[in-house]
């Protein structure tokens, strides 16, 4: 019997659609996964939806199982949780996470899936890719006990970083965002909250994730002497200006990028991509992470919902997509 599935495609910038796809029968070292949930990584995926990936970044921005090319048509996404229907005995019936686009079923190498711990609900496991980014950022940032830290930008990544920092002993964490509603999420994560004008300065470390010029400017201004900003924002095709005059040099400030495409060199020797993802899934046993999932739709609604997420008419951190049996 021919294996079929349905997939979300960006047909052209600003226009998504559901397409039928044909799957190959899984080989001996492959798995057939039936999707339970996927997540929309709002910042990156809405940038892709708008056609905003710069031409010189087309190769580096490719998702692991992407079909098509930027700007469109393209099948893009990387937060998928499903159940293994066919495959090796040790994976059969297991709930797994995979960096796969929004699709009802798919066939991938068995090595491409990571088993979701029993302590983590499938509905929460869609956050694994984002928490993995936060883990890598904190490996880059190397926070110390007692550090005064701000996280500027209360999106998916910023909130994930704040949630992990809340577990560090003696660390004082403040989440900074222009949206007062992020205060409720901060409290659920166990960290302080401030609007930009009320943010506390003299921070040893600032993690910036707002993807705005104003946010990065604020982040530099919040630093103590010899403080560091870890830059997690992806600006796509936008150019931004930085205040690198003024006190940037006299205060010996550091601005450092962090990107999940490489395992941080600050991690323990030998840590692999698989180790990092497995750690992220283990960390998701904490129920506080549920605060990051702020909306849900069915798979069939995704073309309309993606447009609304891109326009901002649906405010969201992680928007979860629920799949029905097909």
Tokens for 298, please give them: 């069915």
- Span 148-201, pLDDT tens digits: 999 999 999 999 999 999 999 999 999 999 999 999 999 999 999 999 999 999
- Please report the pLDDT score of residue 246 as a whole number: 79
- Please report the pLDDT score of residue 326 as a whole number: 41
Question: 282 pLDDT exceeds 90?
Answer: yes
Q: Region of 193 please: left (phi>0), alpha (psi -120 to 50) or beta.
A: beta
- Eight-state DSSP code of residue 314: S
- Span 230-248, pLDDT tens digits: 999 988 777 888 888 878 8
Q: In the chain, where do the E strands start and end?
A: 3-12, 15-23, 30-41, 67-68, 74-75, 80-86, 95-98, 105-109, 113-115, 148-152, 172-176, 192-194, 203-208, 223-231, 254-257, 293-298, 318-322
- Please report the pLDDT score of residue 247 as a whole number: 84
Q: Which residues contact 120 (CB under 8 A, 6 or more apart)?
A: 281, 282, 284, 285
- Please report the pLDDT score of residue 315 as a whole number: 80
- Please report the pLDDT score of residue 317 as a whole number: 87
Question: 121 pLDDT exceeds 50?
Answer: yes
Which of these ranges, 38-47, 63-72, 177-186, has the smallest mean pLDDT? Answer: 38-47
Tokens for 151, please give them: 């996280």
Q: Where are the domains of the chain?
A: 3-127+284-322, 130-257
Average pLDDT, the chain: 94
CATH superfamily of 130-257: NAD(P)-binding Rossmann-like Domain (3.40.50.720)
Domain 3-127+284-322 adopts which CATH fold?
A: Quinone Oxidoreductase; Chain A, domain 1 (3.90.180)
- Please report the pLDDT score of residue 259 as a whole number: 85
- Span 68-101, pLDDT tens digits: 999 999 999 999 999 999 999 999 999 999 999 9
């Amino acid at each position: 019997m021919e294996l079929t599935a349905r997939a979300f495609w960006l047909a052209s910038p600003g226009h998504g659609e559901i397409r039928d796809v044909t799957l190959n029968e899984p080989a001996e070292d492959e798995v057939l996964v039936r999707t339970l949930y996927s997540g929309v990584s709002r910042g990156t995926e809405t940038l892709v939806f708008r056609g905003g990936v710069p031409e010189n970044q087309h190769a580096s921005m490719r998702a692991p199982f992407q079909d098509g090319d930027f700007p469109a048509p393209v099948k893009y996404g990387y937060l998928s949780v499903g159940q293994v229907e066919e495959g090796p005995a040790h994976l059969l019936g297991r709930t797994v996470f995979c960096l796969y686009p929004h699709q009802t079923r798919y066939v991938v190498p068995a090595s491409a899936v990571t088993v979701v711990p029993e302590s983590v609900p499938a509905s929460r496991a869609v956050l694994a890719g984002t928490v993995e980014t936060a883990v890598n950022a904190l490996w880059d940032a190397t926070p110390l006990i007692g550090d005064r830290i701000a996280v500027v930008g209360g999106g998916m990544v910023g909130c994930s970083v704040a949630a992990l920092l809340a577990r560090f002993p003696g660390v004082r964490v403040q989440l900074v965002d222009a949206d007062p509603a992020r205060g409720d999420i901060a409290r659920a994560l166990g960290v302080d909250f401030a609007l930009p004008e009320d943010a506390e300065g003299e921070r040893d470390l600032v993690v910036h994730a707002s993807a705005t010029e104003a946010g990065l400017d604020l982040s530099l201004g919040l630093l103590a002497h010899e403080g560091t900003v870890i830059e997690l924002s992806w600006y796509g095709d936008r150019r931004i200006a930085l205040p690198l005059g003024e006190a940037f040099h006299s205060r010996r400030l550091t601005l450092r990028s962090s990107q999940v495409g490489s395992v941080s060199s600050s991690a323990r020797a030998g840590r692999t991509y698989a180790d990092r993802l497995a750690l992220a899934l283990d960390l998701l046993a904490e129920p506080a992470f549920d605060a990051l999932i702020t909306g849900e739709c069915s798979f069939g609604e995704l073309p309309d919902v993606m447009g609304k997420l891109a326009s901002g008419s649906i405010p969201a951190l992680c928007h979860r997509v629920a799949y029905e049996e097909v």
